[in-house]
Amino acid sequence: MIRSGFYLKGLLSVRSVDSPAIALGCSFLAIGALLKNIGFNFQQSFFSTFFTYALPGQLVMAESFLVGASLLNIFIAVWLVNARLFPMAVSMFPLLKSKKQPKWKYYISCHFLAVSSWLIMKKDYRTINEDYRIDFWMGIGTATWSIAILSTILGFLVSDYLSKDMMIGLAIVNPVYFFCMLLGSMKNIAIGTSVILGTILGPVFYLFSPEWCILYGGVAAGVIAFFAGEFND
Amino acid sequence: MTDLSSNIILVIAVTSIATYLSRSLGVLFSERIDESSKIFRLFDCIAYSTLAALISKVVVFPAGDLGEASNLIRLIVVFVCVGVFFIAKRNLVYPTVLSAILLTTLIKFV
């Protein structure tokens, strides 16, 4: 069903010194501590990362919960902030398609889609046989998802020992790591323009529409970058 | 079960469904897309730019604990770490570790 060799290769891909494990761990450590501070118990914190596994969405959930937002409001706010997962899925799953693989693998493993696993997969997919990329992906996803869950548990358990300054320090690790990773992936005009324009337009659109800024900024920058890439070709 | 507990369970369920929706719709849509097509390249650009927009929004207009540090300090940390990333030949470990240390230090002493 799952080719263990490829799965294991994916699982072990987070072992390298510069893998996203550190950034992912720090961020979910902070989430674990945050969830405890807002009144979640151990099981609830665990299941939050187990079922959601999307840092910005969990942050929005925590903030919305704190201010007593309705379930519908929470749904819309989380959907908006996690809408980036749609283009990420569309730009990755075609690379994993194989007629030899059952569809359920794609619909179950899409739960593992996150910035960390996506960037690893985009970097390494060419080295894997097309028919078994989905197994490799499931390995990467299992590894990054497990790190997130374990870090949430750890954050929950050590939250009393984390000072405010330490929490702030942990919060910057994730954006810095992933921004550097994005800069490192600027291999052509289209992707380079996407990253640079997205970086500028995200905060610019926030001034007009805080809720939709990521979508507006991302789509506008992506479309311009696409045409820049096509024009250059 | 208390009201708060059942509320939290509902909030987790709603959050999980909202998140899975984007992921699964992406998989559904991608079934009809070929990796050599223009639409694939367009979505590739949008995926990278949306991530960049999200990260820069988190730095410039942060939610949660990061908002306790001033905008200037956050931007200094990011610029220094990006500089270190390129100086260290795109090594990700140095800027990642430095970012936490530098931000904590700057908050304390600036």
List, for residues A101-158, the tens digit of each pLDDT value. 999 999 999 999 998 899 889 989 999 999 999 999 999 999 999 999 999 999 999 9
B24/A contact by beta carbon, under 8 A? yes
How distant is the Cα of A173 from the closest Cα of chain B, in angstroms?
A: 6
- Measured between CB atoms, which of B54, B59, B100 is closest to A169? B100
* Two structure tokens written together for A224: 């311009």
B1/A contact by beta carbon, under 8 A? no
Predicted interface score ipTM higher than 0.85: yes
Number of A/B CB contacts below 8 angstroms equals 322
pLDDT, one tens digit per residue, over B11-56 is 999 999 999 999 999 999 999 999 899 999 999 999 999 999 999 9
* Two structure tokens written together for B1: 């079960």
Chain B residue with the nearest C-alpha to that of A23: B96
Chain B residue with the nearest C-alpha to that of A58: B15
Kindly tell me the sign of the dihedral angle through the C-alpha atoms of A31, A109, A21, A215.
negative
Q: Which residue has the tokens 């045409």?
A: A227
Averaged pLDDT of chain B: 91
pLDDT, one tens digit per residue, over A73-106 is 999 999 988 999 999 999 999 999 999 999 999 9
pLDDT, one tens digit per residue, over B63-82 is 778 888 999 999 999 999 99
**pLDDT at A9 (0 to 100):** 94
Kindly report whether the global pTM for this prediction surpasses the value 0.80: yes
Confidence bin at A55 (pLDDT 50/70/90): confident
* Two structure tokens written together for B19: 């998140």
Q: How far apart are CA A25 and CA A174, in angstroms?
A: 9
**pLDDT at A187 (0 to 100):** 86
**pLDDT at A59 (0 to 100):** 87
Chain A residue with the nearest C-alpha to that of B37: A94
pLDDT at A64 over 90: no
Q: Which residue has the tokens 């283009």?
A: A87
Between positions 65 and 84 of B, the ones with CB within 8 A of A are 65-66, 68-69, 74, 77-78, 81-82
Q: How far apart are CA A116 and CA A173, in angstroms?
A: 13
Query: For the residues A209-218, what does the mean pLDDT come to?
Result: 90
Q: How far apart are CA A24 and CA A29, in angstroms?
A: 8
pLDDT at A206 over 90: yes
Chain A residue with the nearest C-alpha to that of B82: A180
**pLDDT at B1 (0 to 100):** 53
Query: For the residues A154-175, what does the mean pLDDT come to?
Result: 89
Chain B residue with the nearest C-alpha to that of A33: B65
pLDDT at B3 over 70: no
Please state the φ and ψ torsions of residue B61, each to the nearest 5 degrees: -125, 70
How distant is the Cα of A30 from the closest Cα of chain B, in angstroms?
A: 9
- Measured between CB atoms, which of A52, A89, A175 is closest to B58? A175
> Chain A residues with CB inside 8 Å of B21's CB?
79
Contact assignment for A86 to B49 by CB distance below 8 Å: no
Find out whether A215 and A222 touch, Cβ atoms under 8 Å: no
Q: How far apart are CA A148 and CA A55, in angstroms?
A: 9
**pLDDT at B30 (0 to 100):** 94
How distant is the Cα of B110 from the closest Cα of chain A, in angstroms?
A: 13
Interface test with B, best of A121, A122, A168, A173 (most B CBs within 10 A): A168
Q: How far apart are CA B35 and CA B43, in angstroms?
A: 10
